[in-house]
Amino acid sequence: MTKSSKTYLIFGFLLVISFNWDTLSAQGNDDRIQPYQENGYYWQYNGEPVILLGGTDDDNLFQMPNLREHLEELREAGGNYIRNTMSDRRSGGFEEYPFQKLANVMYDLDQWNEEYWQRFENMLRLTSEMDIIVQIEVWDRFDYSRENWPPHPYNPANNINYNYEDSGFQPEYPEHPGANEQPFFFTTPDQQNNQIVLQYQQKFVNKLLDHTMEYPNVLYCIDNETSGEEAWAIYWAEFIRDRADTEKRKVNITQMWDDWDLTAEEHRRTIDHPDRFDFLDVSQNNHQTDETHWENFLWVRNYIESEPRPINSVKIYGADGGRHGGDNIDAVEKFWRLIFAGAASARFHRPESGLGLQELSKTQLRSARMFLDEFNIFSAEPDSGHKQISNRGEDEAYLTRIQGNQYAVFFTNGGDVNVDMPEADGSWQVRWLDISKSNWTENQSLNSRNSIHLKAPGDGHWVAVISKM
């Protein structure tokens, strides 16, 4: 064989390797969680459309001692979605920090606590096996203020890597983290360019990505309900994206802003940048109630209609005696409004701020799956202006429809309305879902002459599904 022939052979072999790598990477990406190709408001996973529903009893779920049992309980009820903050604050007494503690009780930010990362890996493995989607929050501002800061490894008093003067930190940050007094969240080059601290933050995120990048069931959120600077979110979104591009992986990234009003300028930082943020998380809208809750969500959905993206809601507030107002009924109604409004996800927040995973929330998950088996939500359009419901009281009923084929109405507490269908004369059937009992009633046959009158079988929460016969 001539020298030139050998050169061409080697070159061809390298091209084959390159082609095979790109092909395998593309095939692997096809099964990952990503916006649904046929309707960008929703997700697809393993190539199939999915709506993400959940409710769990903690946020940093990977730290829970009974993680497997909790995930199995969620899955059995119909849940397929969890929130996982990387939080290490020791509210339960069993949480671990990510860094190695030395014999002199100081931490070394250059060494890892393998127990923390093994717990994280275990959560990723279990959720992947169970087809549960994990929405990770990389940073949680509550970990670095008030009572959580004095014992934290990033506090210079507790590590061997930097001091107060070099890091710019203070011994205490007693104010609510919403005051944005903690320089931990100002380290990036376009902020204070604090390279002393930033290098350890980068190592942490890279370590996190070492674990997550191979798993197909992960979504990334930069912060928990932040009101911080936009530059911080941009930096970490680009950091994660660059790492994913290097490894030829698809990732989906968002930021969760704190403002309860989704029309506020703060939310435009994600809404107006589909190039940077692949989906939206509008959890803080769940501080709203009734019609405002519905209208503000649909304001966002309509705003992005030219370039739809999934709109997630990883925290539904509301529980009897909870810290954030609302009650059990309020939480249930938010859950169903989100489904009917076209949300890509809906998850009950942890107790006592939300229902978590209790019998009431498990009933909602079961009933929601029964409804979604009957009604093709991925082809539906919410009735944002209540144009197709007449004789409707305030917050009485909400409609979504596949025009001319199927209509669904959620009743918050019994009642009766007219569903206007001027284009849909003919024979129809109605099924009623008793949400509180996860039970369908018998089919009813109806004839439509421009509208159908619906009267709920009783008080409480009901869903009617009207289908063409």
308 phi/psi in degrees, rounded to 5 = -65, 145
User: What was the pLDDT predicted at 26?
Assistant: 46
For residue 2, name the pLDDT band (cuts at 50, 70, 90). Answer: low
d(CA 102, CA 36): 47
- Those residues whose C-beta lies under 8 Å from the C-beta of residue 54, and which sit 6 or more positions away, are 74, 79, 80, 81, 82, 83, 132, 345, 346, 347, 348, 365
45: β partners = 48
pLDDT of residue 225: 96
Query: How crowded is residue 220: how many other Cβ atoms within 10 Å of its Cβ?
Result: 26
What is the model's pLDDT at position 7? 44
The span from the first CA to the last CA of the chain, in angstroms, equals: 73
The string of DSSP codes covering 53-115 is: EEE-S-SBGGG-TTHHHHHHHHHHHT--EEEEE-----SSS----SEEEPTTS-EEEEEE-HH
CB distance 281 to 221 below 8 Å: yes
Q: What whole-number distance in Å separates Cα of residue 63 and Cα of residue 205? A: 18
Residue closest to 219 by CA, chosen among 190, 261, 255 = 255
Identify the sign of the CA torsion 323, 325, 329, 332.
negative
Flag whether pLDDT at 3 surpasses 70.
no
Residue 440 pLDDT: 97
- pLDDT over 60 (residue 319): yes
Share of the chain above pLDDT 70, in %: 94
Q: Which helix (H) or strand (E) holds 369?
A: helix 359-374
Tell me the pLDDT band of 409, cut-offs 50, 70 and 90.
Answer: very high
Q: What is the pTM of this model?
A: 0.93
Residue 397, H or E segment: strand 397-402
Q: How would residue 355 be classed by pLDDT, with cut points 50, 70 and 90?
A: very high
pLDDT of residue 19 exceeding 60, the answer is: no
User: How much of the chain is in helix, strand and coil states, percent to nearest 5?
Assistant: 35, 20, 40
Q: Please report the pLDDT score of residue 442 as a whole number.
A: 87
CA–CA distance, 256 with 317 (Å, rounded to integer): 15
For the ranges 15-29, 181-195, 270-284, the lowest mean pLDDT is seen at 15-29
Query: Which has the closest alpha carbon to 465: 441, 437, 440, 430?
Result: 430
Torsion angle defined by CA atoms of residues 169, 175, 176 and 178, in that order, rounded to the nearest 10 degrees: -60
pLDDT of residue 424: 66
Nearest CA to 413 out of 337, 329, 355, 331 is that of 329
Q: What is the DSSP string of 189-247?
A: TTTT--HHHHHHHHHHHHHHHHHHTT-SSEEEEEESSB-S-HHHHHHHHHHHHHHHHHT
Per-residue pLDDT tens over the stretch 416-469: 999 998 776 778 999 999 999 999 998 888 877 788 999 999 999 999 999 988
The CA-based diameter of the chain, rounded to the nearest angstrom, is: 87
Q: Which of 402, 398, 403, 376 is nearest to 385 (CA)?
A: 398
**Amino acid in the structure at residue 149:** W
For 127-136, write each residue's pLDDT tens digit. 999 999 999 9
